[in-house]
Structures are given as C-alpha cells and as structure tokens.
Amino acid sequence: MSYRCSIYNLGITANRAISGVPPSSIDAVDVRISFGSLPAWIHELDPRESRVSYTSDYTGESGEPLLRVFRVLGGTYHHFRYADETEFLIDNAGTEIGCCWREPLTIEDAATYLLGPVMGFVLLLRGVVCLHASAVVIDSEAIALVGPAGSGKSTTAAAFSSRGFSILAEDVVTLDDRRDQFLVRPSYPCIRLWPASVKALYGSESQLPRLTPNWDKRYLDLTNSAAQFERKPLPLSAIYVLGERSLESAAPFIEPLDRTSALLSLIANTYTNYLMDKQMQARQFDLLTRVLAAVPVRKVTPHADAQRLQELCDCIFGDFVSLKHPASKTHRAVHV
C-alpha cells in the first residue's frame, strides 16, 4: 500500500498507481484499495450468504446485465460485478476496496469504475450524498452541472476549463452537509470526454489521449498549465440541470425550476441512488430539501449545435452573476 493520493477529500492508499489521480501527501488513511485480486473467500461463499441488491436494466455484449451488486454476509460487504468481469468488493464502512479484472482489460479500465460509481457508493456509505454532476469554480464558489449520462456535463465543464475556469469535480459532486452550507469536495484532475466532444472543443478527437487502451473515450488532464484543478472544497452556490438540447434559435437559455421539479431532478440525478436503503433515502430527502432552501436550481436548455458550447458557458456564467448580483447586466463570461 505504497501509493497515496486524495480523492473526494478522502486519504487513499493503494498497492498500485491510480490512473488519472496524481500521488499526494495525506494526513490520514480513510480508504485502502487493493488492485489485482479479491479475497478467495468471496468465491467460496454459501449462496445464502450473498444476495442480489441491484441488477442493471442494461446489458453488455455478452447479454449479461452491465452491473450486479450483491449484499454479502448480511451487508458486511458489497460485491460489484460488471458484465466485462471487473469486480469490486467494498466493506460496509467504506474503508476497504478490493478490485480485480480480466484481460485484455487493464487497471486503467478498472479506474473508470473506481472513480465513478464505486467511489460514489463509498461516499454514500460514509454518509455523503452526491449528485451525478460536474462542478466548475466561479469566484471561489462552485456551480454544479447536473444531468444523466450524455447530457453534456463533462463537455460543458471542459468548455469552461478552456476559458480558464478551474474544475472542482467530475462526474461525482458531493453535497457535504455543513448545515449552513453544502461543500463540494475536489474529485481528481481529469475530465473524461467522448471523441465527438473532443472534436467539438478542440477540432480533432486526436487532440486528447485515450482514457484506456480498450475504450475510445478521451481524457483532459487538468494538471497542465492550461487547465486548472481546484484542490480545496468550496461551497455550492448554484445548480444547473442540463435539459434536452434544442434547435430553437433562442437556445441556449436558462429558466427557473419550481420547487417540486427541482427536487425531482435532484433525486433523479443523485449518484448511486439505486443502491440506497430506506435510511439512506430518508437522509437524501431531508438533505435535498435543505439544499433547495439554500441553493438556486436552474434548468438549462443547450443548443443542439455543439459549436455553440461557448454561448452555453456565457449563458450559465451570466445567469450565475445575476443570481449573485441581481443588479448586474453582465451577460458574457470574462474570466481573469
């Protein structure tokens, strides 16, 4: 366990380097990760000691569900089994993670699961509710870009990054409950992008390297001088829910969301909500209700033309400025 780093403000120690996460000093070890194998006992259990708690509606190329999750030994552990035979074993305290995979997959492939759904579930086990979102820093405050897979969260965050804005979180945005505010923890200095998004942003998909040897997704390294990563938690000051793209000439545009619609949107985009038990659901509802009382939630309608991404950034930036300073007439993003 010689590799040390920080993910979502948790001190991590691992037996292998984690792709996309640079090493760093940590004050304490919160989570230990073992790559390469699971304990032998997990495959020798009596079937009665392992019960399915979740089965994905989607299937992989083999026809198997993309993900099955098992409660092991009465919930002492949680066993994630993906259709590509990548597996994770997580203790119920969210302090120990085991991981294994089959060739031709690599540790880079395993890291895509680890940094998203696995760490999202670890945070949930540790009492932190998260949104499926990206977070951008504006004037030392965080805005969350919320939406399901394919809604453009990461692409929009990368567009903000290209203009000099720092990125705080990718894919998983924490709602760290401090009663008087909600903090977003720094995730890891990497944005994962599909080739079409890379082409729209940078002119050619080859401008960014592949995330893994076995997947066409690319990644933007936020540790270089042109793209900044924020390394300290910041207060969440606005939430933007990305809706369906539109061909309307008025797009992109932003509208307020009524309280009921906003609550439903946040519940639908809570990370790993399919793994919540009743106690977690009750905690989630209470927290999201308080989030709505403290943080404005807005609906964004992007334009269908990817070439208008910068207009979308202008629209979100201008709206955030007007929320913070209602008398302001600023409509275009100028970041120094």
The predicted pLDDT at position 232 comes to: 95
The predicted pLDDT at position 225 comes to: 64
pLDDT band, residue 227 (cuts 50/70/90): confident
Instruction: Count how many Cα atoms sit within 13 Å of the Cα of residue 153 in the half-sphere of its side chain.
Output: 26
pLDDT tens-digit readout, 278-299: 999 999 999 999 999 999 999 9
- C-alpha–C-alpha distance, residues 99 and 232, integer Å: 28
The predicted pLDDT at position 335 comes to: 41
By DSSP bridging, strand 182-184 and strand 172-177 are: antiparallel
Phi, psi dihedral angles at 48 (to 5 degrees) = -70, -15
Number of Cβ within a 10 Å radius of residue 299: 18
pLDDT tens-digit readout, 131-145: 999 999 999 999 999
The closest alpha carbon to 34, from 103, 128, 118, belongs to: 118
The predicted pLDDT at position 328 comes to: 57
**Distant-in-sequence, close-in-space partners of 224: CB < 8 Å, separation ≥ 6:** none
The predicted pLDDT at position 79 comes to: 97
- C-alpha–C-alpha distance, residues 99 and 283, integer Å: 29
pLDDT band, residue 275 (cuts 50/70/90): very high
The closest alpha carbon to 78, from 114, 51, 48, belongs to: 51
Phi, psi dihedral angles at 221 (to 5 degrees) = -80, 115
- C-alpha–C-alpha distance, residues 233 and 6, integer Å: 12
Spatial contact of 148 and 169, defined as CB atoms under 8 Å apart: no
What is residue 246's three-state secondary structure? Answer: strand
User: Is the torsion defined by CA of 288, 291, 292, 298 positive or negative?
Assistant: negative
**Percent of the chain with pLDDT strictly greater than 70:** 96
pLDDT tens-digit readout, 173-191: 999 999 889 999 999 999 9
What is the average pLDDT value for the chain, to the nearest integer? 93
The predicted pLDDT at position 22 comes to: 94
pLDDT band, residue 333 (cuts 50/70/90): very low
What does the domain layout of the chain look like in residue ranges? 3-125, 129-324
Say yes or no to pLDDT of 224 above 90.
no
Place of tokens 């943080």: 295
